[in-house]
Structure 1
């Protein structure tokens, strides 16, 4: 089932998520729905807070890497990154977000990440990622901390994002969109 995605302003997007404690059929169904929603959006990842569920879980759908399956889930993750090197951003650093739809802004991220998480069965796993996949993991992990990528932007992109936010009159906890429906 394709789920509605909340746009910035919904409380779960701006609060740290709670750990997942039950690994059961409900969790498996939620994760499957998150995969479907990600593909329909289209996106490369989705965190539970983006659909209004304040739990520590995110999915990715990204085949252009060798560190992990093209489709995966991270439950109760920990993420370790290399320090971000100083310097400016380039067009290659532009990323977007399903909870801040319609634009992409340049954000400097670490080129490498180490993810420790649990799978759907509750068993722990670890993977190393680099490049764009490392960026995806950092972006989705941020959602579990209550941070959107636009919260990390430097000038001039932070001002552009603030203007885009105001122009769209976002900020209500009821502002959402459903992939596949006109919005």
Structure 2
């Protein structure tokens, strides 16, 4: 499976992913590759949008190391019953080097499926809760900086503009296809799994 992490402002990062209706061997392989990429990039979570797939799945391991903690493959997540709030610094594999404080609920209730099709129904708190919320945001086309207050977000504007300029210059040389082509490719995946 030839997947790689896409960088902001890749259009798939703003795409609201489609629910997964079937799990097959290829989806298992995608989940395995996503976990590998997450570890390669020193991440704790990775959403399908971040590897240019418009489907509602993310992987995570709050420990961030392959042989530590617990690996999760989460399909079609829904979040409810938020409790409390806290601010903490977040980063993103699609925004390398960018960090900002984001206020989120301390705990949430997760309803989803694992890669075997078993339901996940549980209250999650602490760091794992933050990772779940961050990755679910990705599936809805929301980036962590969208959740930051305007004043804090402005501190990231220069770096975001630099990333945008770099992406657009790669498009102008043909190294990255134009946005409309990138978006058109998403239909292949939504037709297959959604």
- Give the TM interval when normalised to the shorter protein: 0.7 to 0.9
Q: Which sections of structure 2, spanning at least 5 residues, go unmatched?
A: 178-194
State the match for 2:31 in structure 1.
31
Q: For 2:137 and 2:77, locate their aligned partners in 1 and report how far apart those are by CA, in whole Å.
A: 11
Using the TM superposition, give the Cα deviation of residue 171 of structure 1 relative to its aligned residue in structure 2, in angstroms: 5.1
Distance 1:7 1:81, change over 3 A: farther
> What CA deviation, in whole Å up to 9, does each residue of 1:72-113 have, x standing for no partner?
01101101242564x8x5xxx111001111121111111001
CA RMSD of aligned residues (A): 2.2
> What CA deviation, in whole Å up to 9, does each residue of 1:129-148 have, x standing for no partner?
11111110000000010101
Q: For 1:30 and 1:12, locate their aligned partners in 2 and report how far apart those are by CA, in whole Å.
A: 17
* 1:150-161 correspondence to structure 2 within 5 Å: 150-161=145-156
> What CA deviation, in whole Å up to 9, does each residue of 1:16-56 have, x standing for no partner?
10111121100100000000000000100000000000000
Q: For 2:160 and 2:63, locate their aligned partners in 1 and report how far apart those are by CA, in whole Å.
A: 31
State the match for 1:125 in structure 2.
120
Q: For 1:155 and 1:110, locate their aligned partners in 2 and report how far apart those are by CA, in whole Å.
A: 19
Q: Which sections of structure 1, spanning at least 5 residues, go unmatched?
A: 176-183
* 1:59-70 correspondence to structure 2 within 5 Å: 59-63=59-63, 70=70
The answer on whether the counterparts of 2:44 and 2:63 sit within 8 Å (CA) in structure 1 is no
The runs of at least 4 aligned residues of structure 1 exceeding 2 Å deviation read 167-175
Distance 1:55 1:171, change over 3 A: same
Give the structure with higher Rg (CA): 2
The structure whose residues are more often helix, as a share, is 2
Matched, 1:115 2:120: no
**Relative contact order (C-alpha < 8 Å, sep 6+): which is higher?**
1
Q: For 2:83 and 2:157, locate their aligned partners in 1 and report how far apart those are by CA, in whole Å.
A: 27
The structure whose residues are more often strand, as a share, is 1
- Relative to the length of structure 1, the TM-score reads 0.82
